[in-house]
């Protein structure tokens, strides 16, 4: 199995946090790729936040971009719910 790629993201306080790729997918409807990130280290007492992004694998800078529209976010959310709630896909 391939190692998940690790991304270092900086929060609004300037703190760096490590996230790993949980999964990625392409959308024919939006002609884009998306990636879902989760924290590398998980605290079992806390709810795990996942972060969805538009993902441009070929970009030199800015390979992770925020999702731009409510319609696009709804599609990504539907894919995440399918993946996270279907035991055959986990």
In whole angstroms, what is the distance from residue 87 CA to residue 90 CA? 5
Report the pLDDT averaged over residues 60-88. 90
Where do the DSSP E strands lie in the chain? 6-10, 16-27, 32-39, 51-55, 64-65
Query: Which tens digit of pLDDT belongs to each residue from 4-44?
Result: 688 999 989 999 999 999 999 999 999 999 999 999 886 66
Q: Judge residue 37's burial from the number of C-beta atoms within 10 Å of its C-beta, 0-12 exposed, 13-18 middle, 19 or more buried.
A: buried
| pLDDT given at position 38 | 92
59: pLDDT strictly greater than 90: no
**Domain edges within the chain:** 6-89
In whole angstroms, what is the distance from residue 56 CA to residue 64 CA? 7
Report residue 1's pLDDT band, with 50, 70 and 90 as the boundaries: very low
């Amino acid at each position: 199995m391939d190692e998940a790629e690790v991304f270092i993201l900086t929060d609004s306080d300037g703190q760096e946090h490590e996230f790993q790729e949980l999964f990625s997918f392409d959308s024919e409807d939006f002609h884009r790729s998306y990636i879902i990130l989760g924290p590398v280290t998980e605290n079992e007492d806390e709810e795990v936040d996942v972060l969805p992004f538009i993902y441009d694998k070929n970009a030199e800078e800015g390979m992770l971009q925020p999702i731009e529209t409510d319609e696009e976010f709804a599609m990504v959310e539907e894919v995440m719910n399918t993946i996270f709630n279907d035991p055959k896909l986990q």
